[in-house]
Amino acid sequence: MIRGTLMKFWTLGTSAAVATAERDNASILISAGEELFLIDCGGSPVHRMAKLGFCVSELTGVFVSHAHADHIFGLPAVIHARKIRCQGALPMRIFGPAKAMAAAHGILSALWDEETLRMYSNLISVPIEENYLLFESPSVHIFSTPVEHGPETLAVKFVERKTGISMAYSSDTRPCENLVRLAKGVDYLLHDSTSCMDGGSELKFGHSSAREAAVVARKAAVKRLILLHFAGYDVADCLREAAREFDGPIDAAHDLQEFSHEGSGDNRTSENI
Ligand SMILES: [Zn+2]
Ligand SMILES: [Zn+2]
């Protein structure tokens, strides 16, 4: 894999709570400068990375946004693969809110003893603070901010230092001003679109509709909106709903879709399935 080029990311899984034949649970792979991160860890991230030509040995870290099963249950697969593929490597840094890190420890410690866990994983609790700088390297700055979902939940933003290219991910959330501030002017906003229409029953559980995601995108003046976390409806309807509120390019992401700044001339509103 070529690194050090412009930011790229891949939506590994784009389903809401329950995976379908077409969509795996939530996970995004992002390459920014020299760093490679998983953002959320639902579904089969190791298999999906392999399909794209990546190995878990290349990962800098994993960010887990909250302690819901569909965002965290792929973690044992990552640690298992690291254990086999990365003898002698540094423990995998896993970032997330304290409740998510407690859940991660519970899941992992059911499978490995503490000594093994310390060898292969490093759980780092991220404070629930607005615009918190959780990781910094010569390549990238990563910021997080609390959003409005059931458990402690953090949205995240990656900023590639050399190019200034930026990407924000809402995680699961109701539309919120914290996220508008985090995502101000970003090149890409990936936003929860669990409900296609306003009034959907999913909204009671701390999610957003496609139109609400688009309002956040408009308020934050983002350059491109990417909808995901779909719950089994026709995404063409989502795109229509979102286009009522946001004039910029809008995608309904599909699994294993690549987004690269080099390809950003492809600015159509697309269904992409
Ligand atoms: Zn979810
Ligand atoms: Zn959730």
For ligand 1, the distance from its centroid to the CA atom of residue 162, given in whole angstroms, is 32
For ligand 2, the distance from its centroid to the CA atom of residue 149, given in whole angstroms, is 7
Instruction: Assess contact for 66 and 151: CB atoms under 8 A.
Output: yes
Q: Is 70 exceeded by the pLDDT of residue 230?
A: yes
The residue whose two tokens read 């304290």 is 98
List, in order of start, the domains of the chain with CATH numbers: 8-259 (3.60.15.10)
For ligand 2, the distance from its centroid to the CA atom of residue 188, given in whole angstroms, is 21
The residue whose two tokens read 């990238």 is 140
For ligand 2, the distance from its centroid to the CA atom of residue 68, given in whole angstroms, is 5
Q: Is 70 exceeded by the pLDDT of residue 2?
A: no
Q: Is 50 exceeded by the pLDDT of residue 133?
A: yes
The residue whose two tokens read 């400068």 is 33
pLDDT per residue over 71-102, tens digit each?
999 999 999 999 988 877 789 999 999 999 99
Instruction: Assess contact for 51 and 35: CB atoms under 8 A.
Output: no
Query: What per-residue confidence (pLDDT) applies to 232?
Result: 80
d(CA 200, CA 195): 6
For ligand 2, the distance from its centroid to the CA atom of residue 15, given in whole angstroms, is 12
pLDDT per residue over 152-171, tens digit each?
999 999 999 999 999 999 99
| Ligand having the closest approach to the CA of 206 | 2
For ligand 1, the distance from its centroid to the CA atom of residue 2, given in whole angstroms, is 31
Q: Average of pLDDT values for 54-60? A: 94
pLDDT per residue over 35-47, tens digit each?
999 999 999 999 9
For ligand 1, the distance from its centroid to the CA atom of residue 205, given in whole angstroms, is 10
Portion of the chain with pLDDT greater than 90, in percent: 84
Query: What per-residue confidence (pLDDT) applies to 273?
Result: 32
| Ligand having the closest approach to the CA of 205 | 2
Query: What per-residue confidence (pLDDT) applies to 267?
Result: 39
pTM exceeds 0.85, yes or no: yes
Q: Average of pLDDT values for 228-232? A: 91
For ligand 2, the distance from its centroid to the CA atom of residue 151, given in whole angstroms, is 8
For ligand 2, the distance from its centroid to the CA atom of residue 150, given in whole angstroms, is 7
Portion of the chain with pLDDT greater than 70, in percent: 94
Q: Is 50 exceeded by the pLDDT of residue 115?
A: yes
| Ligand having the closest approach to the CA of 67 | 2
pLDDT per residue over 239-271, tens digit each?
999 999 999 999 999 999 999 976 544 433 444
pLDDT per residue over 180-207, tens digit each?
999 999 999 999 999 887 877 777 789 9
For ligand 2, the distance from its centroid to the CA atom of residue 240, given in whole angstroms, is 25
For ligand 1, the distance from its centroid to the CA atom of residue 67, given in whole angstroms, is 9
| Ligand having the closest approach to the CA of 16 | 1
Q: By three-state DSSP, how is residue 61 classified? A: strand
Query: What per-residue confidence (pLDDT) applies to 254?
Result: 96
For ligand 2, the distance from its centroid to the CA atom of residue 200, given in whole angstroms, is 16
Query: What per-residue confidence (pLDDT) applies to 3?
Result: 56
Q: What is the 3-state secondary structure (H, E, C) of 230-253?
A: ECCCCHHHHHHHHHCCCCCCEEEC
What values do phi and psi take at 220, rounded to 5? Answer: -85, -5
For ligand 1, the distance from its centroid to the CA atom of residue 87, given in whole angstroms, is 32
